């Protein structure tokens, strides 16, 4: 595709740069409108500058991707309500054998959960669990936060629903869920293992320091808090032992007081007192019977509520498993996710608004603006011209070509972000590989998915998962920790290059 007119090239480039700046740095001082508004602004400028028409802008919005993204977000909300991520968090500390075992568990659980519930969701939910475990074992948080974010990115590469760029690739390439998983799973498994080993080697000395004294202090403190809660001064008097001196003295004082009172009152008063005492005893008997009758009924109600909750959770898990099976059977991914989401709303049997309010509609709107902006930038002819220059060196049937293609994807994913990179390069990379064979076309799509996803580990700004972990850790109440850009970069550059290279040899 040749370059458009100079005016369209300049105006389209301006609109794309504005979109890129606001997407990568959403709090820029000169226009602090945020990432979503920046995406819409870029798309609107493409139409206003007449780089594309309004009809072309609407046509650029891919409803299949938006439907799939919406459905998976709703399913993730219900899984969170069903305590799925709470159980995953408990697995992190269950029968732990030390810091090195913990960091391996973080890598494994983060990768698996991200493959099926998206990397962003896993990072949002698991960050606080990781911080609590690090504090409980008196360990530095940053190796575990790096393990969570990097493994989430690597694990999400294995499935079409693991991250947004894979959603785009799955829809555009029409590769089935099963073939996608089969093609990248070996690379994902080896990538998670290598990433965990790299973390262990890099932080071996730091993870070998165990401060047992502080762990004991934390346990003693927790026990003291528990005891003070259970045995408050207001309730201690009701549990005085019968044979204690204080209890005997109380009984003596009460008996002396009763004798003096009896001697000092008339017989009529004494009789009325006896009657009133008899009526009180009868009332106490009735109230005790009522309590004995109500306690079993309350227990039955609690048992019924508990079983209803277990049944509902089981339904949520079964629907999720059914969705994954349907995806493996190559049913339409978008409608499968939406159907699973609607099934969970119906089974919940209550107003779905609270659950739907947790869906990130700003992300859906961001995608709409991004689709329009990228389509407008494509119309300028700049991406095609640059690709024409790189195409002879990026042939998929040569090792050198795969290496150069991977470097291009890696650099663009960190400069432009991974989803726009997939939208800009996807069709061109596939067309180049299709000229060789159909198998190479499929491999090209999978290489694009693998490299654009793992590229997110290169720097703190490389993927949304990294930013989510950083922000969640910083804002966690009483557990706040700031993951710096340079501490991430020191780990991210070598890990990304090694994991990417190893994965490329295993993609089928």
* Residue-wise pLDDT tens digits, 281-303: 544 554 555 444 454 556 667 88
How many residues are recorded in the chain?
508
The vertex-266 CA angle with 263 and 270, nearest 5°, equals 85
User: Alpha helix locations (H) across 329-380?
Assistant: 333-348, 353-356, 361-379
What radius of gyration, in Å, describes the C-alpha atoms of the chain?
Answer: 32
- The conformational region for residue 331 under phi > 0 = left, psi -120 to 50 = alpha, else beta, is beta
156-203 pLDDT tens trace: 999 998 988 998 999 899 899 999 999 999 999 999 999 999 999 998
The vertex-74 CA angle with 153 and 71, nearest 5°, equals 80
Cα separation, 465 vs 120, in Å, equals 5
Walk along the chain (508 residues) and give the pLDDT tens digit of each residue.
Answer: 678 899 999 999 999 999 888 877 767 787 888 888 989 999 999 999 999 999 999 999 989 888 988 998 899 889 888 988 778 777 776 777 778 888 899 999 999 989 987 887 788 778 888 888 888 778 888 899 999 999 999 999 999 989 889 989 998 998 999 999 999 999 999 999 999 999 999 988 887 765 443 343 333 333 333 333 332 333 333 333 333 334 334 433 433 333 343 343 444 444 444 454 545 454 455 455 544 445 455 666 788 888 888 999 999 999 999 999 998 888 888 899 999 999 999 999 889 999 999 888 888 898 899 899 999 998 999 988 888 888 888 888 888 999 999 999 998 888 777 888 898 899 889 998 888 888 889 999 999 999 999 998 998 767 878 877 887 777 766 666 777 778 888 899 999 999 999 999 998 7
Q: How far is CA 87 from the centre of its chain?
A: 14
Q: How far is CA 159 from the centre of its chain?
A: 16
Cα separation, 193 vs 104, in Å, equals 9
Place of tokens 């809660």: 229
Domain boundaries, the chain: 62-210+303-367+380-508
At 404 the pLDDT is 93
Q: 26: which residues sit within 8 A by CB, 6+ positions away?
A: 32, 34, 35, 38
Full DSSP string of 210-267:
--HHHHHHHHHHHHHHHHHHHS-HHHHGGG--TTSHHHHHHHHHHHHHHHHHHHTS-H
Place of tokens 């095609």: 384
Cα separation, 364 vs 36, in Å, equals 9
At 480 the pLDDT is 66
CB 104 within 8 A of CB 151: no
At 209 the pLDDT is 66
Q: How far is CA 14 from the centre of its chain?
A: 34
The two three-digit tokens of residue 491, written as one number: 């780990």
At 472 the pLDDT is 72
Q: What percent of the chain has pLDDT over 90?
A: 35
At 297 the pLDDT is 57
212-222 pLDDT tens trace: 433 433 333 33
């Amino acid at each position: 595709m040749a370059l458009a007119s100079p005016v369209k090239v300049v105006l389209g480039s301006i609109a794309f740069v504005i979109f890129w700046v606001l997407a990568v740095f959403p709090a820029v001082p000169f226009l602090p409108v945020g990432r979503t508004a920046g995406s819409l602004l870029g798309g609107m400028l493409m139409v206003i500058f007449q780089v594309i028409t309004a009809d072309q802008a609407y046509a650029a919005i891919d409803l299949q991707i938006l439907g799939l993204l919406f459905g998976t977000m709703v399913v993730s909300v219900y899984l969170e309500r069903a305590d799925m991520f709470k159980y995953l968090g408990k697995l992190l500390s269950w029968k732990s054998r030390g810091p090195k075992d913990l960091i391996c568990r973080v890598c494994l659980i983060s990768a698996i959960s991200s493959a099926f519930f998206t990397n962003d969701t896993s990072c949002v939910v698991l960050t606080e669990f990781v911080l609590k475990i690090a504090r409980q074992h008196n360990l530095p948080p940053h190796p575990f936060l790096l393990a969570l974010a990097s493994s989430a990115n690597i694990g999400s590469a294995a499935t079409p629903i693991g991250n947004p760029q894979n959603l785009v690739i799955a829809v555009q390439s029409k590769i089935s869920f099963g073939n996608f998983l089969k093609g990248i799973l070996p690379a994902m498994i080896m990538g998670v293992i290598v990433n965990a080993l790299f973390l262990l080697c890099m932080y071996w000395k730091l993870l070998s320091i165990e401060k047992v004294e502080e762990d004991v202090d934390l346990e003693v403190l927790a026990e003291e808090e528990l005891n003070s809660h259970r045995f408050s001064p207001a309730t201690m008097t009701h549990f005085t032992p019968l044979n204690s001196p204080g209890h005997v003295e109380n009984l003596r004082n009460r008996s002396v007081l009763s004798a003096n009172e009896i001697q000092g009152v008339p017989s009529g008063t004494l009789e009325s007192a006896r009657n009133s005492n008899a009526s009180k005893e009868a009332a106490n008997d009735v109230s005790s019977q009522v309590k004995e009758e109500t306690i079993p009924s309350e227990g039955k109600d609690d048992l019924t509520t508990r079983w209803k909750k277990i049944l509902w959770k089981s339904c949520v898990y079964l629907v999720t498993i059914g969705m994954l099976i349907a995806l493996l059977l190559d049913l339409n991914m978008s409608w499968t996710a939406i159907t699973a989401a609607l099934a969970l709303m119906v089974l919940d049997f209550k107003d779905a608004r609270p659950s739907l309010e947790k869906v990130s509609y700003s992300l859906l709107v961001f995608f709409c603006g991004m689709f329009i902006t990228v389509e407008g930038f494509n119309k300028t002819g700049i991406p095609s011209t640059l690709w024409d220059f790189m195409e002879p060196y990026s042939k998929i049937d040569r090792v050198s070509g795969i290496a150069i293609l991977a470097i291009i994807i890696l650099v663009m994913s960190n400069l432009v972000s991974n989803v726009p990179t997939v939208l800009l390069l996807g069709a061109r990379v596939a067309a180049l590989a299709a000229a060789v064979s159909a198998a190479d076309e499929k491999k090209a799509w999978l290489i694009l998915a693998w490299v654009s996803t793992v590229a997110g580990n290169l720097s703190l700004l490389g993927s949304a998962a990294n930013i989510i972990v950083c922000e969640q850790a910083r804002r966690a109440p009483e557990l706040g920790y700031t993951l710096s850009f340079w501490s991430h970069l020191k780990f991210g550059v070598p890990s990304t290059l090694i994991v990417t290279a190893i994965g490329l040899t295993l993609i089928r």
